[in-house]
Amino acid sequence: MPAPLLPLPAVITAEDLVGKIKQYFRSKDLDLVWLAYEVAESAHRGQTRKSGEPYITHPLAVAYILASLRIDLPIVIAALLHDVPEDTAVTLEEIEKNFGADVASMIRGITKLGKLKYRGVERYIENLRKMFVAMAEDVRVMIIKFADRVHNLLTLEALEEEKRYRVALESLEIFAPIANRLGMGEFKGLLEDLSFPWVYPKEYERVKRLRDELLSGSEAVIESVLNRLREELTASGIRYLDIHGRKKQLYSFYQKLLKKEGETEKIYDIIALRIIVPDVSDCYAALGVLHKLWRPLKGRIKDYIAQPKPNGYQSLHTTVFCANGQVVEFQIRTLAMHQEAEYGVAAHWHYDEGGRRLPSRDIGWAKELARIQQEVLVSASALEELKVDFFRSRIFVFTPAGDVIDLPEDATPVDFAYHIHSEVGNTCTGTRVNDQLVGLDTLLKSGDVVEIITDKNRRGPSPDWLKIAKTHVARSHIKSGLKRSPLDGWIKLILPKRKRV
């Protein structure tokens, strides 16, 4: 079973990395790994990270993360060397001479991506374009880039606040969706949960508390459910390789809360129990056993084996009522499907427990994705569509000074005003969108230039604004502006209609 990638050891040495590789790579010949380490170490010698640590700790950690994924050697070697041509005197030509064209071309791809900056919508689209090109050329570049980003997020503390925010926001809004599109569930979850506290610190704390609250006491129930299930599977002669539970990741829980308007009883997968079985027929047999044991919830049985998700994800999902009304989601899949779900496109370069590469699986969808993107990138208008498709739920609007404010779809000038500053919101009396006076309930579109008209004598928000504000920031400011009761916390806001089941 794939082991969790985090936490990383506090100190990672070249020996640790080689030890990790030996767990899955049978060949004794790891000379190239040692050489790559030595080249990187001497090239980065004297350089330090913002934390003060020697620079080499970074490429070592990136390579270690990838080795934990049991990934093919050239990718690990490229990871060790990934910052060398950009930041040191050693050139790409020298790397190519020592490590061959394949490793050099991956590093070229990473260097091309360069040190991207998140600076408003123009650069944002430019970043996306660069990433699609890199991905279309060689998806391994993105795999290294994700590991690189995970380590950067882990060491974000050392950066200045503004840079910290930018890196986290970019990871959340660009890297995570791409990892998701590539079917790399593990990386998507890591990128999101590592960025979440830096981008939305308050929401992070609250969501974490809420999840813990909802989960408290469920461990015993889950344990008895699992025992009952194991018994029944064995009695029915159904083989299984592993059964485990996983907590919903925080950012994905947060997104669900927003979607379900805080009605936690409509979120069934805060804990999901996974059954990993040898083959597809066992999946359906296990589903039958589950439904014989416990009553399934209507409309919650999903056959992603017969109809995989667009990113290639396969599993059977069902939600059942277990003992004393506890509602539990089950995900049933084969080991191959499980590895695909965790690693996505990276599974193609992954070694199994026996130290062999997995049988070459169909990664047609990934190639197709890359091909479509390459075609789409030809025209700028198509690029807009791509952006819309990727970030369907966000819009970008401008202040009269040209600053980009990003808001959820259907946001109104009231949301915009509170995003500028709570005082701007509280003193807002009207708005001009693209130089036209319009109502405060106007739905904003990407590209709109929004100007807020304020009056210092205004005494606070209008209760009607609660009906037109879509963002939590705006709604919570409006609420506290309306009545400054200490009970008007955020939990109440996101749980407006909480009912008992």
Stretch that binds Mn ion, among 15-23, 77-85, 265-273, 320-328 (CB under 5 A): 77-85
Shortest Å, Cβ 40 to Mn ion: 11
Nearer to Mn ion, 83 or 173 (CB): 83
Residues 349-378 that bind Mn ion (CB under 5 A): none
Residue 282 binds Mn ion, judged by CB under 5 A = no
Q: Which helix (H) or strand (E) holds 438?
A: strand 436-438
Nearer to Mn ion, 68 or 427 (CB): 68
- Cα separations in angstroms, 451 against 240, 406, 414, 437: 60, 15, 11, 9
What is the CA angle 18-138-79, rounded to 5?
25
Shortest Å, Cβ 148 to Mn ion: 4
Stretch that binds Mn ion, among 75-83, 277-285, 351-359, 415-423 (CB under 5 A): 75-83
Nearer to Mn ion, 153 or 332 (CB): 153
Q: Burial, 27: exposed, middle or buried (Cβ in 10 Å; 0-12, 13-18, 19+)?
A: exposed
Shortest Å, Cβ 144 to Mn ion: 9
How many residues bind Mn ion, per CB under 5 A? 2
Q: Which helix (H) or strand (E) holds 454?
A: strand 450-454
Point out which residues pair with 430 in neighbouring strands: 453
Rg (CA), the chain: 25
Stretch that binds Mn ion, among 28-36, 64-72, 79-87, 297-305 (CB under 5 A): 79-87
What's the CA gap between 168 and 155, in Å, rounded?
11
Shortest Å, Cβ 187 to Mn ion: 15
Q: Which amino acid is at 177?
A: P
- The mark string for 115-144 relative to Mn ion (x by CB under 5 A, - otherwise) is ------------------------------
- The mark string for 322-351 relative to Mn ion (x by CB under 5 A, - otherwise) is ------------------------------
Residue 148 binds Mn ion, judged by CB under 5 A = yes
Q: Which of 153, 50, 192, 169 is nearest to 119 (CA)?
A: 169
Contact 270, 247 (CB under 8 A): yes
Residue 173 binds Mn ion, judged by CB under 5 A = no
Nearer to Mn ion, 2 or 54 (CB): 54
Shortest Å, Cβ 349 to Mn ion: 19
User: Which residues form the catalytic set?
Assistant: 86-87
Stretch that binds Mn ion, among 98-106, 145-153, 171-179, 251-259 (CB under 5 A): 145-153
What's the CA gap between 66 and 77, in Å, rounded?
10
Shortest Å, Cβ 151 to Mn ion: 7
Stretch that binds Mn ion, among 83-91, 188-196, 241-249, 313-321 (CB under 5 A): 83-91
- In terms of residues, how long is the chain? 501
Point out which residues pair with 205 in neighbouring strands: none
Shortest Å, Cβ 82 to Mn ion: 6
Shortest Å, Cβ 48 to Mn ion: 14
Q: Which helix (H) or strand (E) holds 42?
A: helix 31-44
- What is the number of the residue whose Cβ is closest to Mn ion? 148
Nearer to Mn ion, 83 or 203 (CB): 83
Sequence-distant (≥ 6) Cβ neighbours of residue 433 within 8 angstroms: 413, 442, 444, 448, 449, 450, 451
Nearer to Mn ion, 148 or 269 (CB): 148
What's the CA gap between 284 and 396, in Å, rounded?
45
CA 163, 168, 170, 171 torsion-angle sign: positive
In the list 56, 68, 74, 83, the residue contacting Mn ion (rule: CB under 5 A) is 83
Stretch that binds Mn ion, among 81-89, 137-145, 224-232, 394-402 (CB under 5 A): 81-89
Nearer to Mn ion, 164 or 361 (CB): 164
Nearer to Mn ion, 127 or 476 (CB): 127
Per-residue burial over 80-102, b if 16 or more Cβ lie within 10 Å, else e, is bbbbbbeebebebeebbeebeee
Q: Which residues of the shown chain bind Mn ion in the complex (CB under 5 A)?
A: 83, 148
